[in-house]
Structures are given as structure tokens and as C-alpha cells.
Amino acid sequence: MTLDHLSPRRPRLRAPKAAAIAGIVFSVLLIISLVLILIASPTTLVSDRARLLAKTPILLVALNLVPFAGIAFLWFMGVVRDLLGEREDQFFATVFFGSGLLFLAMLFVSSAVTGSLLVLTDRLPNPELIAPLHNLGYTVARETLNTYGIRMAGVFMISISTLFLRTGIIPRWMVWLGYGFAAIMLFRIGHIDRLGWVTLLFPLWVLLISVYILVINYARSAKGA
């Protein structure tokens, strides 16, 4: 009886496709969620209850996608570590893992605050309390994601780009693109960050490398066949 089925090489062979699929699912769900939130969120303070209630359906759709995006992101991180295997640098892997979890925590906190605002808007009997609570909660949710969460995403991109650069898993131009996006998110460079759209750079970059890994995996499978 052979023990080949217990060899660690078999999971390693499945890792690239799993990482790519998880990354694509995370990216697509988070992009849709963020776009809906950015479209529905006001750019100024709100004092109209009807205006708040009109935005509720769009925001509910966006918030319901966030937990599934988070699950896919956890899967993506786990499979990337499996993909790196013994080539994984412990220092950068620790930063990569920690910053990824912190980004996910900030994303969930921001979503939870936004969801709480929707519940309060619908249930508070006194309309005069809604606008101040909404403006306070909206500011907290926005700052949590755009000030803290996005910087953790930048640290995540720097650490994982460094791991990719050392292992040669993805092309160098994708690595340097990741460094560039990370710099924009860390230092909030440019006017795009004023409206929060800079947050989309993170899932867009993950989508790019995920599609690349998936295409390369299928190309190698076809060549082997």
C-alpha cells in the first residue's frame, strides 16, 4: 500500500486554483459592496428621514455581501500561505496574516455600524434623533474603513507583494503595481481618496493577481494534459 496520497505535494498542486477562485470571489463581492455603499452614502451631513430610508435597500444589499466577502478573504489568505509552503518568509508572513485579519476586522466593524444605523433609522420613534445619530455613525463607519482599514490593506499588499517578489509566483510588474497601490492607500495620495473610492484599489489588485494565477494554472494543466 502506497502513502502517496498523504504526500504534502498534492494539496500544493491544488492551492493555486483555490487561491485564485477565493480571491476572485472576495474581489467581486467587495467591489460590488463598496460601489453600492459609495453610491448610496451621502457626501454631506443628512437631516432628512425620507432621504435616509430611500437609501436603505441599496445599503442592505451591500452590507449583506460583506460577510461572504470576508469568508472568501480568509480562504484566500489561507490558500496563499499554503501556496507559498516552505518558501514562506516568517516575518512577512506574520505581517501579511496580521494585517489581513485587522483589515477584515475594520471592514466588519464599519459594516456593523452602518447596519445599526439602518435599524435605528427605521425603529426610532423620534425623527429628530435620527439625523444626529446617522451623521455620527456614518462618520465613525467611514473613518474606521477609510482611515484604519485601508491602511491595513496597504500593509497587507506590501507584505504579500514582497512574498510574491521573492518567490516569483506573479510577474514583477504586478508586484510593483501592488507597491504603488499600497503607497496610495497608506499615505492617501491624490484627490480620489476624498470620496473613498481609493478603497477599491485593494480588491481590484487582488482580482488581478487571482485571475493571473487562475489563467496560469489552467495553462499548465492543459500543457500537462
Neighbours of 4 (CB within 10 A): 8
Contact between 182 and 204 (Cβ < 8 Å) = no
Instruction: Please list, residue by residue across 13-24, b when 16 or more beta carbons sit within 10 angstroms of its beta carbon and e when fewer do.
Output: eebbbbbbbbbb
* pLDDT of 192 over the 60 cut: no
Under 8 Å between Cβ of 12 and 87:
no
Angle at 39 between CA 106 and CA 187, to 5 degrees: 45
On the question of pLDDT at 68 being above 90, the answer is yes
What is the band of 194 on the pLDDT scale with cuts at 50, 70, 90?
low
Select from 221, 210, 216 the least CA-distant residue to 75: 210
- 3-class secondary-structure state, position 194: helix
Question: Where residue 10 falls among pLDDT bands split at 50, 70, 90?
Answer: very low
Residue 168, pLDDT score: 81
Domain ranges of the chain: 14-224
In the chain, pLDDT over 90 holds for what percent of residues? 24
Higher pLDDT among residues 180 and 167, named by residue: 180
The DSSP letter of residue 168 is: T
- Using one digit for the tens of pLDDT, what is the confidence trace for 95-145? 888 999 999 999 999 889 888 887 777 776 666 666 677 778 778 888 888
Report whether pLDDT(79) > 80.
no
Under 8 Å between Cβ of 210 and 29: no
Q: What share of the chain in percent tops pLDDT 70?
A: 73
Q: Can you give the pLDDT at residue 49? A: 59
